[in-house]
């Protein structure tokens, strides 16, 4: 059984206010090309299809086109999808029964009653059956209904509670598709700036609760990595979604399951993004001269090391780089300022801080009504604190 393991498409995402539609369409097209060439038995997408719970019409159109092109491949390749923390379960679940007739299986919502179970998709090959268990993103509060009304104390207990209800046959080959923050043997996975994780890691799930699966296809972390064991893996994103990912190599994971009990094989196929994300560092003259025809359209984070600040550096750089993410200065003056600054630290007004955060996330200012609501929230918060 050979299948593609994808996750965290984040369709609709922006990179420092650059629209990534063209980049995402290009990389999804490369996945389709690989599918046409290799004809995998399935394509697994482990959550975060969209970047926002309310995706734009443009984002929905991009994903619709991706699924439509996959469905044109003959024989048809089953597509197995779970929702992530960025997805809206209700929106992703729309028309899921209809799509199931075209072998597009979507698990957007966690079972809510004792009679409901995880969606299971069974595929077959020369070694027999493979059961794929699709587990959408969950929080402890989601599983209270079938835990006797009690709230699980940890995410690990919540995931365990869901899996314990399933009649999983250990004699069969079983694959879990899950979108959570898994950790193994007390070791924290490598994370990126583009990921949203809870403070203190309170949302982590101990990977020991899923180790009995033959393969665990994970989503949530953007860097490809195993979690404790070879068969428990994050495949990472297809594209780089932050400067912190500049040094990562993005690949397409092809998983191969042999007979029960044999080690899983994972092959990484190269991906060729329309534009790379790179860090460029040095004096401005060197940075400009290093901008070749091939890399000038990449998304670049520039750090200038000139001891004397260049004149209008961004304007000079924009003549040779078309997608500048940021321009930073790193010289003796800036380092001394950071080291010896005795300026009084000013604590920003909470409402202004939230307004700035809202603008960053929604790309617009709050409306007058939203402003009034938040004012009342902070007034009440101050009262409770007193």
pLDDT digits (tens, 9 = 90+) for 191-207: 777 666 654 456 899 99
Q: Please tell me the least confidently modeled range out of 69-83, 186-200, 309-323.
A: 186-200
The strand order across the sheet containing 323-329 reads: 277-282, 299-304, 323-329
Q: Is the pLDDT of residue 101 over 90?
A: no
CA-based nearest residue to 210, from 183, 172, 171 = 183
Q: Does domain 2-270 have CATH number 3.60.21.10?
A: yes
User: Pick the residue with more confidence: 212 or 338?
Assistant: 212
Q: Please tell me the least confidently modeled range out of 108-112, 165-169, 330-334.
A: 330-334
pLDDT band at 80; cut points 50, 70, 90: very high
User: Pick the residue with more confidence: 291 or 36?
Assistant: 36
Q: How far is CA 71 from CA 9, 101, 140, 172, in A?
A: 18, 11, 35, 28
Task: Identify the pLDDT of residue 1.
Answer: 95
Task: Identify the pLDDT of residue 366.
Answer: 86
What's the pLDDT tens digit per position in 220-276?
Answer: 999 999 998 999 999 999 999 999 999 999 999 999 999 999 999 999 999 999 999
* Residue for token pair 């009649």: 167
pTM for the full predicted model: 0.83
222, 84 contact by CB (below 8 A): no
Residues whose CB is less than 8 angstroms from the CB of residue 211 and which lie 6 or more positions away in sequence, other chains included:
228, 229, 232
| Residue 273: half-sphere exposure toward Cβ, Cα within 13 Å | 22
249, 242 contact by CB (below 8 A): no
**Where are the domains positioned within the chain?**
2-270, 277-340, 350-385
Task: Identify the pLDDT of residue 322.
Answer: 94
Task: Identify the pLDDT of residue 386.
Answer: 47
Task: Identify the pLDDT of residue 112.
Answer: 80
């Amino acid at each position: 059984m050979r299948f593609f393991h994808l996750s965290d498409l984040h369709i609709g995402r922006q990179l420092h206010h650059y629209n990534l539609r063209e980049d995402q369409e290009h990389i999804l097209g490369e996945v389709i090309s690989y599918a046409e060439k290799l004809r995998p038995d399935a394509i697994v997408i482990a959550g975060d299809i969209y970047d926002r719970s309310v995706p734009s019409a443009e984002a929905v159109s991009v994903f619709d086109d991706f699924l439509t092109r996959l469905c044109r491949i003959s024989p048809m390749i089953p597509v197995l999808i779970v929702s992530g923390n960025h997805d809206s379960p209700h929106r992703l679940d729309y028309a899921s029964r209809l799509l199931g007739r075209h072998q597009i299986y979507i698990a957007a919502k966690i079972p809510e009653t004792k009679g409901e179970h995880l969606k299971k998709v069974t595929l077959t090959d020369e070694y027999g059956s493979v059961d794929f268990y699709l587990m959408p993103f969950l929080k402890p509060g989601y599983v209270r209904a079938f835990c006797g009304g009690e709230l699980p104390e940890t995410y690990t207990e919540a995931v365990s509670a869901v899996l314990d209800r399933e009649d999983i046959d250990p004699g069969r080959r079983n694959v879990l598709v899950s979108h959570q923050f898994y950790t193994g043997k007390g070791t924290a996975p490598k994370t990126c700036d583009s990921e949203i994780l809870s403070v203190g890691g309170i949302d982590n799930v101990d990977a020991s609760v899923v180790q009995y699966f033959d393969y665990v296809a994970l989503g949530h972390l953007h860097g490809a990595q195993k979690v404790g064991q070879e068969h428990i893996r994050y495949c990472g994103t297809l594209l780089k979604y932050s400067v912190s990912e500049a040094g990562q190599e993005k690949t397409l994971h092809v998983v191969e399951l042999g007979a029960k009990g044999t080690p899983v094989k994972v092959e990484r196929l190269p991906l060729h993004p329309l534009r790379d994300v790179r860090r460029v560092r040095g004096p401005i003259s060197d940075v400009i001269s290093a901008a070749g025809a091939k890399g000038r359209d990449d998304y670049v984070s520039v750090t200038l090391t000139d001891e004397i600040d260049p004149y209008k550096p961004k304007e000079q750089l924009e003549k040779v780089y078309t997608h500048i993410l940021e321009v930073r200065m790193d010289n003796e003056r800036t380092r001394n300022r950071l080291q010896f600054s005795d300026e009084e630290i000013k604590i920003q007004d909470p409402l202004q801080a939230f307004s700035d955060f809202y603008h960053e996330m929604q790309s617009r200012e709050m409306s007058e009504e939203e402003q009034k609501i938040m004012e009342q929230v902070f007034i009440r918060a101050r009262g409770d604190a007193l």
